[in-house]
């Protein structure tokens, strides 16, 4: 009789990849802008993550490929995978079945914190580890950007892939031709802690189609170039303010507020009447400034609030759910492989 025993198999690979908050310069990471002049974004990774598991799929199952996310796909060939990012990551790295992929995020998809790009970076990181490879953050970011922008044709920028791969707070410069430089930001002791002590993140409950928002913004780039250039320069200004010996909440809040007033003019779908009401209520209750995270239309509202006014802001927006976040210094990481 043939020996049909199934062995333990190789260990599974788990990656953990942070989401991000962009503080200034968002929109200048689109090629429509940086192909003519450098784009600059100041952003930070946060303590919310996308977790990806990769392992060899067991012979006990009837399909050679399984991909689990908000739904489960069981298919015979990589080309049959409907999850665009999973399919193209497997193709890029020439992964052969049998393969099992599972992902779960700490927040819902399409909420303005770079979740899709974090998934792409985290999956690539796990797949490289599955192949016995370790690759630098810059390569992970470029591979993810290539898949999302070049292969899948998504009208998105390049900041999210870099924030997910590098972690920490960085100033990213996007150059004509697609080159990107990352400059890690260093601050006086306690500044980052005070910054995040001042942050209130509120979930609007609205997921949005970032591609539709960004497509309109891309079309408006030339007519809004002056707005975008001012927003780019705010990334430099904010970095200088945060580099001061003492944290200046009023100055940081003013820059965020100025940036939001410019951003909401870039496309018709960036804000809504409801979002404007929430923003005005927060300002009226004492918030120094804020912004809507991501492309627009929904997701998370971020406000900077002095301790004395935090309760008033929360009471003014009591119908929204608060999510606590802190600064994350690490980018995408492959955690210790675990036996299955």
The reply to whether 201 and 226 lie within a common domain is yes
Classify residue 153: in a domain, yes or no.
yes
Domain, as residue range, for 305: 191-322
Confidence (pLDDT) at 206: 84
Confidence (pLDDT) at 15: 97
189 phi-psi bin (left φ>0, alpha ψ -120 to 50, beta other): beta
The reply to whether 165 and 230 lie within a common domain is no
- Give the pLDDT band (50/70/90) at residue 8: low
- Give the pLDDT band (50/70/90) at residue 213: confident
Classify residue 205: in a domain, yes or no.
yes
Classify residue 216: in a domain, yes or no.
yes
Classify residue 55: in a domain, yes or no.
yes
Task: Out of 4-13, 96-105, 116-125, 224-233, pick the least confident.
Answer: 4-13
Q: Residue 183 pLDDT more than 80?
A: yes
- Residue with token string 């950007």: 145
The reply to whether 201 and 171 lie within a common domain is no
The reply to whether 239 and 202 lie within a common domain is yes
Classify residue 109: in a domain, yes or no.
yes
Confidence (pLDDT) at 269: 87
First-residue to last-residue Cα distance in the chain? 27
pTM of the model: 0.94
Q: Which of 151, 71, 142 is nearest to 104 (CA)?
A: 71
Overall average pLDDT of the 251-267 stretch: 96
Confidence (pLDDT) at 9: 59
CATH number of the domain where residue 244 is located: 3.30.70.890
Overall average pLDDT of the 199-204 stretch: 96
Confidence (pLDDT) at 59: 81
- Give the pLDDT band (50/70/90) at residue 338: low
What total number of domains does the chain contain?
A: 2
pLDDT tens digits for range 58-82: 888 889 999 999 999 999 999 999 9
109 or 133: whose pLDDT is higher?
A: 133
Confidence (pLDDT) at 227: 96
Classify residue 1: in a domain, yes or no.
no
Confidence (pLDDT) at 340: 45
Buried b (16+ CB within 10 A) or exposed e, 118-135: bbbbbbbbbbbbbeeeee
- Report CA 90 to chain centroid distance, whole Å: 21
3-state secondary structure 77-113: CHHHCCCHHHHHHHHHCCCCCCEEEEEEECCCCCCCC
- Angle (CA) 30 295 17, round 5°: 85
Within the chain, how many helices (H) and strands (E) appear?
11, 12
The reply to whether 209 and 151 lie within a common domain is no
- Two tokens at 263? 């951003």
The reply to whether 199 and 154 lie within a common domain is no
The reply to whether 117 and 152 lie within a common domain is yes
The reply to whether 68 and 150 lie within a common domain is yes
Classify residue 219: in a domain, yes or no.
yes
CATH number of the domain where residue 22 is located: 3.30.230.10
Mean pLDDT over all residues of the chain?
A: 93
Task: Out of 15-29, 106-120, 326-340, pick the least confident.
Answer: 326-340
Task: Out of 61-65, 216-220, 223-227, 313-317, pick the least confident.
Answer: 216-220
Confidence (pLDDT) at 61: 84
Count of beta carbons in the 10 Å neighbourhood of residue 8: 8
The reply to whether 182 and 195 lie within a common domain is no
Confidence (pLDDT) at 1: 42
Q: At what angle do helices 137-145 and 159-166 cross, to 10 degrees?
A: 150
pLDDT tens digits for range 119-169: 999 999 999 999 999 999 999 999 999 999 999 999 999 999 999 999 999
The reply to whether 224 and 305 lie within a common domain is yes
198 or 60: whose pLDDT is higher?
A: 198
Q: Residue 92 pLDDT more than 50?
A: yes
HSE on the CB side for 319, CA within 13 Å? 8
The reply to whether 58 and 103 lie within a common domain is yes
Q: Which of 113, 83, 115, 118 is nearest to 101 (CA)?
A: 83
Classify residue 63: in a domain, yes or no.
yes
The reply to whether 106 and 220 lie within a common domain is no
Confidence (pLDDT) at 211: 77
Q: Residue 295 pLDDT more than 90?
A: no
């Amino acid at each position: 009789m043939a020996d049909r025993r199934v062995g333990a198999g190789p260990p599974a690979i788990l990656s953990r990849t942070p989401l991000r908050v962009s503080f200034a310069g968002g929109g200048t990471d689109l090629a429509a802008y940086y192909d003519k002049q450098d784009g600059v974004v100041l952003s930070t990774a946060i303590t919310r993550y996308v977790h990806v598991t990769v392992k060899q799929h067991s012979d006990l199952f009837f399909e050679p490929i399984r991909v689990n996310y908000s739904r489960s796909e069981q298919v015979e060939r990589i080309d049959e995978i409907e999850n665009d990012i999973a399919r193209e990551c497997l193709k890029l790295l020439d992964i052969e079945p049998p393969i099992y992929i599972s992902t779960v995020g700490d927040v819902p998809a399409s909420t303005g914190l770079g979740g899709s790009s974090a998934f792409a970076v985290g999956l690539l990181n796990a797949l490289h580890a599955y192949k016995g490879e370790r690759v630098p953050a810059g390569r992970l970011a470029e591979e993810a950007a290539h898949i999302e922008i070049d292969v899948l044709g998504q009208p998105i920028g390049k900041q999210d892939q870099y924030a997910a791969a590098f972690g920490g707070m960085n100033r990213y410069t996007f150059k004509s031709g697609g080159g990107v430089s990352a400059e890690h930001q260093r601050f006086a002791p306690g500044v980052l802690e005070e910054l995040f002590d001042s942050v209130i993140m509120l979930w609007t409950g609205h997921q949005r189609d970032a591609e539709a928002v960004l497509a309109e913004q891309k079309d408006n780039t030339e007519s809004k170039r002056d707005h975008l250039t001012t927003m780019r320069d705010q990334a430099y200004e904010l970095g200088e303010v945060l580099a001061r010996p003492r944290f200046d909440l009023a100055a940081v809040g003013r820059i965020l507020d100025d940036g939001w007033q410019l951003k909401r003019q870039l496309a018709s779908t960036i804000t809504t009447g409801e979002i404007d009401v929430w923003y005005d209520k927060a300002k009226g209750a004492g918030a120094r400034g804020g912004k809507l995270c991501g492309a627009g239309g929904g997701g998370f509202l971020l406000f900077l609030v002095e301790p004395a006014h935090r309760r008033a802001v929360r009471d003014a927006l009591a119908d929204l759910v608060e999510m606590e976040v802190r600064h994350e210094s690490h980018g995408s990481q492959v955690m210790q492989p675990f036996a299955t």
